[in-house]
């Protein structure tokens, strides 16, 4: 099916590290784009590109029929969708609501059900790929919700992503993102330990990386974040504070399923130590500072 570009008005709530790039791709693709962010300064570049500013998520929702959210925490998602000035109270019937925040699977189901009551369509569509993936429009997008809705908005996903997979009903996208974060959590410990080991053994970490990143140890984190660690660049592609949030969501869901997650629990405890050192706004690669003591 798909959406008619001339009749599609996109609203982007959240123009931070990820949302800004996403909105920019939609503008370049020729869509009318409206934006809202708690800090307006973070949307200035988009406004210069032609985006239209709105003063609240609800006001934005009144002008758009596709509303995409990329905010920080599940509490933010709940407020943006279900709050007094939120999307559900203000969007038009038949609007498509797409939450791309990494959030709670249970909250995704709650929003989906509320959207149905308002004659709207909701998808949970968290992403992986970090700031680089967002800038280069090659995000991995994992989607939960009705298949027909997924098929309709797929052309929009294809503007910002490359690996786009329908995972199942509401909440399935968020559960899949939890699998992603669980795999990353223990892997980041390994990446940092490998680099510390290389340094202590008197090796050149960059040269070591050439040997190990294309073999069995290869991973996205090793290829993309290890070079940042070596360069002592701890700027956020993905914030430590947001990763701690994600791990908390995963551990809570795992507990509900009576699953023990020792690797995830260890990673979360190490990242909480890192945040206590004042590194909560650093990138996840800053875990190296805990390992390199």
Catalytic residues: 177
Distance of alpha carbon 145 from alpha carbon 118, whole angstroms? 16
Q: Are 3 and 152 in contact (CB under 8 A)?
A: yes
What is the 3 state secondary structure string of 143-209?
Answer: EECCHHHHHHHHHHHHHHEEEEEEEECCCHHHHHHHHHHHHHHHHHHHHHHHHHHHHHCCCCHHHHH
Q: At what angle do helices 262-274 and 240-256 cross, to 10 degrees?
A: 150
Strands 127-128 and 139-144: antiparallel
Q: At what angle do helices 172-200 and 240-256 cross, to 10 degrees?
A: 120
């Amino acid at each position: 099916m798909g959406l008619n570009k001339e009749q599609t008005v996109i609203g982007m709530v959240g123009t931070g590290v990820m949302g800004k790039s996403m909105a920019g791709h939609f503008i370049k693709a020729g869509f009318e784009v409206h934006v809202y962010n708690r800090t307006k300064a973070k949307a200035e570049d988009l406004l210069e590109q032609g985006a239209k500013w709105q003063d609240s998520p609800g006001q934005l929702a009144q002008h758009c029929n596709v509303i995409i959210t990329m905010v920080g925490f599940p509490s933010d998602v709940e407020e943006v969708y279900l709050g007094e000035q939120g999307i559900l109270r203000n969007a038009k019937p038949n609007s498509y609501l797409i939450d791309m925040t990494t959030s709670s699977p249970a909250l995704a189901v709650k929003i989906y059900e509320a959207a149905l009551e308002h004659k709207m369509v909701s998808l949970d569509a968290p992403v992986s790929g970090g700031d680089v993936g967002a800038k280069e429009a090659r995000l991995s997008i994992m989607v939960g919700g009705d298949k027909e809705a997924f098929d309709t908005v797929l052309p929009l996903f294809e503007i910002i992503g490359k690996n786009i997979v329908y995972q199942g009903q509401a909440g399935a996208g968020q559960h899949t993102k939890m699998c992603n974060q669980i795999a990353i959590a223990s892997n980041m410990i390994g990446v940092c330990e490998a680099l510390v080991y290389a340094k202590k053994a008197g090796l050149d970490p960059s040269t070591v990386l050439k040997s190990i990143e294309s073999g069995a140890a290869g991973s996205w984190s090793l290829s993309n974040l290890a070079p940042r660690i070596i360069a002592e660049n701890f700027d956020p592609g993905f914030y430590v504070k947001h990763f701690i949030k994600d791990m908390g969501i995963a551990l809570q869901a795992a507990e509900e399923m009576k699953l023990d997650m020792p690797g995830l629990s260890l990673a979360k405890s190490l990242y909480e130590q890192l945040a206590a050192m004042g590194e909560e706004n650093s990138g996840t690669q800053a875990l190296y500072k805990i390992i390199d003591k």
